[in-house]
Every structure is written in C-alpha cells, then in structure tokens.
Amino acid sequence: MAGVSVQAFRRQGRRFGAGLVCSEMVSCAGLNHGNERTLGYLRIADDEHPLAVQIFGSAPGAMAEAARVVEGAGADIVDINFGCPVRKVTKTGAGATLLDDPDRACRLVEAVAEAVDVPVTAKMRRGLENDSRTALAVGPRLVEAGAAALTLHPRSAKQMYTGEADHALTAELVDLVDVPVVASGDITSRTRALEVLESTGCAAVMVARAAQGNPWAVAEIAGVEDRDPTREEVVAELLLFIRESVRELGEQRATGFLKKFYGWYLGRGRFPKPFKQELVQLATIADVETRLLAAAPGARDLLDDLEAEFAVGEEVVLDLPISALGGG
C-alpha cells in the first residue's frame, strides 16, 4: 500500500466502515534523520482514529526512536513491518528478510515495546520462500518479545502478490499464540471475510488492494452496506479524493500520484476503458475535475454534500508536506 494509504485514503476507509486504518510503511531511518518526505507521513486527522502507523527498519535503537516519534504524532498503534518483499527494503535487512533473522526481529519488537505506551503489533509474510512455515516459528517469539497482536499475510515474499493466500497457515498461527491474529490477503468480499474468520478463528481481517478506488468494498465487507455505487457516486468520491490529495500533497505532487486512482475508481465496468486514459492525459487537476463533472453532472451536488459533512477537523501536522512517493 506504499503510495496509496495516504490520509485521504485512510479517512475514506474509516468513513466507509473500517474499524482500524493503517499508514503506509514509514522508514525509521527517514524519521530519525528528519527527512521531510518521511515525516510527512505523520499527518493525522482527528477522524482517522483508531490509526496504526507502520514502521520498518533493522536497528533496534533506531526503531525505538522512530516509534517514539510515531506515538508523539498521535498513532494509536505502532506496527512493525516484517512482510514487505520489495528488494529496496529487504536489502537493508528490513521487511520480510527479518523472518530469517528471528533474534533481530525479536530485539526490534522488544525495543519498540519498551519505548512506547501504545500497543505494538507486527505484520508478517509466511516466510521468504514458497511453502515456508517460518511465520509459525517466529510469530510466538514476537509475542514473547512484546507484540500485542500479529497480522499474517500467508504468501511468501517470493510470491509477491501472485497465487493465493494460504489461510490454513493463519489458522495454525491462531492456535499457537494468545494474542489477536489478523488475517490479510485476498479479502475481497464479505463472504470471503466471513469464511476466513470462521475457518481460522482470527480476530479480524485486513483489506488492502480490494479497497483501492473501491471504498464500497470496505462497506460491504464491514456489513455497513452492500450495493453497487451509481456513476454519480463514483465521480463524487473520486473528486473528493482528488481534492483531499491536493490538500495533502500539493497540486504538483498530487497530479502524478492520482493517475493510478483513475483506473481503480472508474474500472469494474463503471465507465468505458478509454475514459480513464483520457483523464491520465489531461494536463491539470482542474481539467480532470471538469471532465469528470461533464461525464456525471449529478456528482456536483453529491460532492458538495460530502465536503460539507466530512471537512477536515483538527489534525496533527508536523509543518511538512506529506509524501506519496517515498517508502518501499
């Protein structure tokens, strides 16, 4: 979810029924060095809570200091990433590679848990290699080190996002630990969510890619509402997301950041495929808004209502712009 789970995305998730939202992963090194883009992730609105901020790194001291910054910014949970399979993260000794260094992983959890008063959680993959069962050995040790909950995405780092998430492994982890386990991976519908909850005994499910440009999936999975949005509703939500992203990122940065969202919102048969490509080629955000409202004029009133009802209230801002392009 790097380059996706910015404040606008998280606020939308809460509005559609998510019980907890999470930041994209934040580099502990960037926080500790005062990197402008990294600190920009810690922009937290009052309607995002409860909110987890996920950090990654490989040095216990640096992770502890970063956790203190995260707690100070208002996070309700500090989550540690032991799951990212991306090379530029794993080559630093962080992310999923820590599953093959359980002693260090435990030292990270212990250091962070001692540094903050909020709960510390950990997100894992099953291991580095296909069919690995490393998570079952490491998970209980992370709990002993201080993890208050575990999230398991039961794909290997090698799989990335291919194949299927093996939630039989999630069920095994649930039986091994006495803290809540969250199931992540292939949670795309309420039916699937209920199946995973029942078959694994997990405490909750995590929704990621299914929510990209599709907050109605979050509402359906959460049991809030189950219906397809109208074209006007899709455009109104996209326009609100555009405006919120511009407020967070500035127009120049938001222009590139938003392009992937056009396809996510407008796909699924909601609009003809060429329409998304047309928007990507427009020069300015104003041009995009004009074209969207021309395609669904009724969205204007819906947008006005959304902006009036869900205006940003108080928020923690570190006097820095948020980055949509950093991270792993």
**Which active-site residues does the annotation give?**
84
Secondary structure of residue 296 in the 3-state scheme? coil
Q: Alpha helices of 74-122 — where are they, by DSSP H?
A: 87-90, 102-115
Q: What are phi and psi of 323, to 5 degrees?
A: -105, 130
Distances in Å between the Cα of 74 and the Cα atoms of 4, 64, 316 are 20, 16, 7
Distance of CA 132 to the CA centre of its chain: 24
Report d(CA 259, CA 276) in Å as an integer. 9
Residue carrying the six token digits 């948020």 = 322
Distances in Å between the Cα of 94 and the Cα atoms of 40, 66, 69, 114, 132 are 21, 14, 19, 20, 18
Report d(CA 51, CA 176) in Å as an integer. 27
Q: Residue 132: what residue type?
A: S
- Sequence length of the chain is 328
Left, alpha or beta for 247 (phi > 0: left; psi -120 to 50: alpha)? alpha
Q: What are phi and psi of 286, to 5 degrees?
A: -60, -40
